[in-house]
Amino acid sequence: MLAFMTRSVVYGGLIAALLLLAIPSLRTGQLVSDATLSQFEPDASLVSYNYAVRRASPAVVNIYTRRYSSENRLQLNAEGLGSGVIMSDKGYIVTNYHVVARADQIIVALQDGRISTAQLVGKDQRTDLAVLKVDLESLPVIPFNDSYNPAVGDVVLAIGNPYNLGQTTTFGIISATGRPGMSFNRQQDFLQTDAAINRGNSGGALVNSRGELVGINTASFQQATDIETYGISFAIPYSLTVKIMQKLIADGRVIRGYIGVDGREVNPVMARLLDAEQLSGVMVAAVEPNGPADRSGLRTNDLIIEINNQPIHGFRNALDIVADIRPGTVVPFKVIREGNTMELMVTIGEEPVR
């Protein structure tokens, strides 16, 4: 018995000695605690966008539309659902054209519980924007930053009322800028994002990580096939939103300049054929008979390089410059015709209603 105990003590001592050699921290009798472990963890704080949401969300409203029944003109039926953004303390709200286009009555619900009917100030189908007005005081206004320029990779949050679940925020990045109208056949450029935009989100706010307005949510990508797509949504840029809003407030509609030409982008081969060194601009492919361009002397195969002293970088750029000019204004067009540079004074017309 004594021999057994002696062997046990000797073996225990040997094991303890080996452990002390292998783990030096045990020599002081201290174990590694949670506090000790924490000093080896990276010093990272919790990432949250709560600040941005708290800044922006009070200015995002729910929009409900109703229409008179075709069978009973005194009966209003629920028609549609969407969101909107309060852009001014005077009560101006921006939403999508397709949210209110068919509405006979528009109801706006604020996040603070207030509900009001809204007046339709104006709408523009091309940009899918509309402006409403409510008669309420102490309105929360969405934060702006005119110097912010959206870039691919910027974090964005989409705020709206999807499927009437109540205000909801989804997260993503700006996937692309300058996207054309895609499957919904519009001509202006869009911001593309992978933040989820569902039915009811239309007209809501796309904001950056500071809660500043980046754009107005408008649609998710839809294909003609049965293949479902995810993570491809679009928003109307803030700069275009403000420009259209101001025009709708001023005139109740968007009055666009028009000259009546079709054009093609210029490439090096085309420039050589036109005997021109200019590699940017628009070649006039067709002129509308008796249209503003025709009456002002523009001809097919003219190369337009400046409009109103602004250099032209493409056909879309040229259309945008003309559209922003008030009809009736006379502006200089610098063109290259048969190798010679000349200036024509063109009277801008008004875009016809299509």
Catalytic-labelled residue, pool 83, 202, 233, 296: 202
Instruction: Give the Cα separation of 21 and 25 in Å (integer).
Output: 10
Structure tokens at 252: 């109740």
Catalytic status, residue 98: yes
Q: Are 335 and 318 in contact (CB under 8 A)?
A: no
**Using CA of residue 37, residue 39, residue 40, residue 44, what is the dihedral sign?**
positive
Say how many CA atoms lie within 13 Å of 34 toward its Cβ.
0
Active-site entry in 57, 83, 128, 233? 128
**How many alpha carbons lie under 13 Å from residue 121 in its C-beta half-sphere?**
23
d(CA 115, CA 58): 14
* Active-site hit among 83, 98, 233, 302: 98
Provide the strand spans (E) within 96-212.
105-109, 115-117, 119-124, 129-133, 155-160, 168-179, 190-193, 205-208
Both tokens of 290, joined, read 């008796």
Write phi, then psi, for 93 (nearest 5 degrees).
Answer: -125, 135
Q: Are 85 and 216 in contact (CB under 8 A)?
A: yes
Tokens matching residue 107: 């109801």
Q: What contacts 183, CB < 8 A, 6 or more positions away?
A: 221, 222, 223, 224
CA distance 9 to 308: 100
In angstroms, the CA 167 to CA 165 distance is 7
Question: Three-state DSSP class for 345?
Answer: strand
Q: Tell me the two tokens of residue 262.
A: 């079709």
Q: Which residues pair with 164 in a beta bridge?
A: none
Is 313 in the active site?
A: no
* Bridge partners (DSSP) listed for residue 95: 130
Q: Would you call 262 a catalytic residue per the annotation?
A: no
Catalytic residue numbers? 98, 128, 202
